[in-house]
Amino acid sequence: MTEPPTSRLTADLTGRVAIVTGAARGLGRAIAVTLARAGAKVACIDVKAEWLADTLQAIRAAGGTAEPLACDVTDGGRVGEAVEEVVQLWDGLHILVNNAGVTRDNSILRMKDDQWDAVLNINLKGTFLFTRAAARPMMKGRFGRIVNIASVSGLMGNPGQANYSASKAGVIGLTRTVARELAGRNVTVNAVAPGFIATDMTAALGEEILQAVLKEIPLGRLGEPQDVADAVLYLASEAASFITGHVLTVDGGLTV
């Protein structure tokens, strides 16, 4: 297991309870570890609890507190149960990071119904279900930080990703609407839109495509998972208490 890098931000999340979906690897793992290192108790969510072993080990090795929860983010009943389990375990819920996501790339003419449905269900419906379930305890406690992981694909589109781009554009629309609905209860809702980040998903593009991508990024490099995790930490912290409905791009200048 590679030790995740340490956040470059200082934030105190002591006493906060967080949920991170898709926490087994990549961005989700970096986000979960970063929030835990800042003092939050983190419920790590993925389809299978055993997939979360590395994330839990990294958190606990650093002295943090975390628990694994198995949950299919497209199952509304199970999502509700998972949120309730977290609230009962740690007496509240303060931070939700909707990170779980998949790709099923294909051109629009070749895209199958199941490719479209899988991506929209996990990326968009899953974000909706967890947001809806988490909103109630956050509103009751009159505090909440919801951070949704969108994508620059939802802002500018990307050939071969009609399903993914649509799902992430939907996440952005959902973010802005729910921000307006929950603001009166001191619950902020923001999105982080990563560009090309060095994860397994990006590596699958192949070297030729990656080199072409690098030419389009003004900073001339891929981002790291910690770049995204630091953005999430900021939006989850008190420093961002007057920011809601915002989409923070973390893309090396790709969308400039």
The pLDDT, as a whole number, for residue 2 is 62
Has 164 been annotated as catalytic?
yes
Mean pLDDT computed over 28-33: 98
Could you read off the pLDDT of 112-127 as tens digits, one per residue?
A: 999 999 999 999 999 9
Edge-to-edge strand list for the sheet holding 41-46: 65-70, 41-46, 17-21, 95-98, 144-149, 187-194, 247-250
The pLDDT, as a whole number, for residue 210 is 86
For residue 30, pLDDT beyond 90: yes
Could you read off the pLDDT of 155-211 as tens digits, one per residue?
A: 999 999 999 999 999 999 999 999 999 999 999 999 999 999 998 877 777 788 889
**Where does the pLDDT of residue 83 fall: very low under 50, low under 70, confident under 90, or very high at 90 and above?**
very high
The pLDDT, as a whole number, for residue 62 is 93
Could you read off the pLDDT of 35-69 as tens digits, one per residue?
A: 999 999 999 999 999 999 999 999 999 999 999 99
Distance, CA of 109 to CA of 68 (rounded, Å): 40
**Where does the pLDDT of residue 29 fall: very low under 50, low under 70, confident under 90, or very high at 90 and above?**
very high
Global pTM reads: 0.96
- Taking the C-alpha atoms of 192, 240, 34 and 42 in order, what is their torsion angle to the nearest 10 degrees? -100
The one catalytic residue in 90, 164, 196, 234 is 164
Number of neighbouring beta carbons within 10 Å of residue 198: 15
Distance, CA of 56 to CA of 50 (rounded, Å): 10
Percent of the chain with pLDDT over 90: 90
Distance, CA of 155 to CA of 204 (rounded, Å): 22
CATH topology of domain 17-249: Rossmann fold (3.40.50)
